[in-house]
Amino acid sequence: MADIVLNDVSKSYGQVSVLEHVSMHIQSGEFIVFLGPSGCGKSTLLRMIAGLEAINGGEIRIGDRRVDQLPPNQRGVAMVFQNYALYPHMTVRENMSFGLQNVGTSKTEVSRRVDEAARMLEIMPLLDRRPAQLSGGQRQRVAIGRAIVREPQAFLLDEPLSNLDAGLRVRTRVELAQLHQRIGTTMVFVTHDQTEAMTLASRIVVMNNRKVEQIGTPMEVYSRPASRFVAAFVGSPAMNFLPATVAEQGGGHAVVAAGGARIATSIPVAGLPTGGELTLGIRPDALRVVPSGGTLTGSAELVERLGDRTFVHVRLAGGDLVVAEDSGKSTLRTGQPVVLEVDPAATHLFDEGGAAYHAN
């Protein structure tokens, strides 16, 4: 296991900037997820750590060594790709052994490592099959096993679940989390899927437009997003946003005019910008359907029943559309009037630049 440290790392292709001044410290044994939309630079950053892309500025350290000038095979990392990259003419055992044999590892040691990894991944019965005889999930396990046998200081995984169907993704995600618990090696995982990020990560690195927006635990990123982009990108359904102005103070906390009503928040007035427009952010689980006496009123435009809970798309009296949460046994129907209660402790305000202000 090893720490991975990036100091002021940048990358460009000619005049096109891809990453700008990225710094972070990945602790030994962490499961870090790079999360962001397509084109944000997350896969490029992973490839720079692996040595598959050169950096244009800054430095990368793995353990106690600076590695940004070293070739990939000297960095002590193993990479798992999205497309598995298995040799079709080789058996599973041969695929897992190939890299070790190339560096002169003894046959006894190769056999030990392959058998150990195969037992760990529960693919012992597959060792004599070829990739064409395997399912997508089995191929992904083989690709992970090929990385495990190298006994690297860190695993780098580039969207390894994206080629799997929905059910298989869930099972493989669980297996990957269990694998990390067993071996405890540093893992860096790239995805655009927030569910994978929230369920797998020790910490999430949210990336957007060539830079890091926020680094935090899954619940820190969800509950206290650093910017409007993070608030909108993390969470399903997405956070509701309403144009807002500070109407008054209530015990030092802001009461805002938004959605055609006055909404109490737990956000301190001190520190809020005095000029410019504000946006109120409320997640659906903090916007609850109530029988009466709520803060906001409107009518139901769409009711989504998910079994354990119900999402209601509500057109507010002020004209804005929001998504609220009701119980799984909700009897609401499209067109019915709806009353909503806001949890003041789960409100957020964002300034014109997207910076966030949170409840105490």
pLDDT digits (tens, 9 = 90+) for 138-185: 888 898 888 888 889 999 999 888 877 787 788 888 888 888 888 889
Q: Which of 194, 226, 258 is the last residue of a domain?
A: 226
Domain that holds residue 16: 4-226
Please check whether residues 168 and 205 belong to one and the same domain.
Answer: yes
* Distance from C-alpha of 292 to C-alpha of 327, rounded to nearest angstrom: 15
Task: Work out how many domains the chain is built from and give that number.
Answer: 2
* Distance from C-alpha of 40 to C-alpha of 83, rounded to nearest angstrom: 20
Is 187 domain-assigned? yes
Please check whether residues 28 and 99 belong to one and the same domain.
Answer: yes
Q: Of 180, 90, 84, 185, which Cα lies nearest the Cα of 135?
A: 84
Please check whether residues 218 and 257 belong to one and the same domain.
Answer: no
Per-residue pLDDT averaged across 349-358, rounded?
Answer: 93
Question: What pLDDT is attached to residue 191?
Answer: 93
- Give the pLDDT band of residue 250 (cuts 50, 70, 90): low
Q: Which of 196, 226, 256 is the last residue of a domain?
A: 226
- Give the pLDDT band of residue 105 (cuts 50, 70, 90): confident
* Distance from C-alpha of 217 to C-alpha of 32, rounded to nearest angstrom: 9
Q: Which of 198, 226, 254 is the last residue of a domain?
A: 226
Question: What pLDDT is attached to residue 47?
Answer: 95
* Each residue's pLDDT tens digit, 293-340: 899 999 999 999 999 999 999 999 889 999 999 999 999 999 999 999
* Each residue's pLDDT tens digit, 40-50: 999 999 999 99
| Three-state secondary-structure class, residue 342 | strand
Least confident of 37-46, 77-86, 199-208, 314-323: 77-86
Do 255 and 263 contact (CB within 8 A), yes or no? yes
Q: Look at residue 249 and tell me whether its pLDDT is greater than 80.
A: no
Structure tokens at 219: 């619940």
Cis? peptide before 225, omega within 30° of 0:
no
* Distance from C-alpha of 102 to C-alpha of 281, rounded to nearest angstrom: 55
Q: Mean pLDDT score of the chain, rounded to an integer?
A: 91
Per-residue pLDDT averaged across 63-87, rounded?
Answer: 89
- Integer CA distances (angstroms), 22 to 14, 49, 60, 174, 192, in order: 18, 12, 10, 30, 19
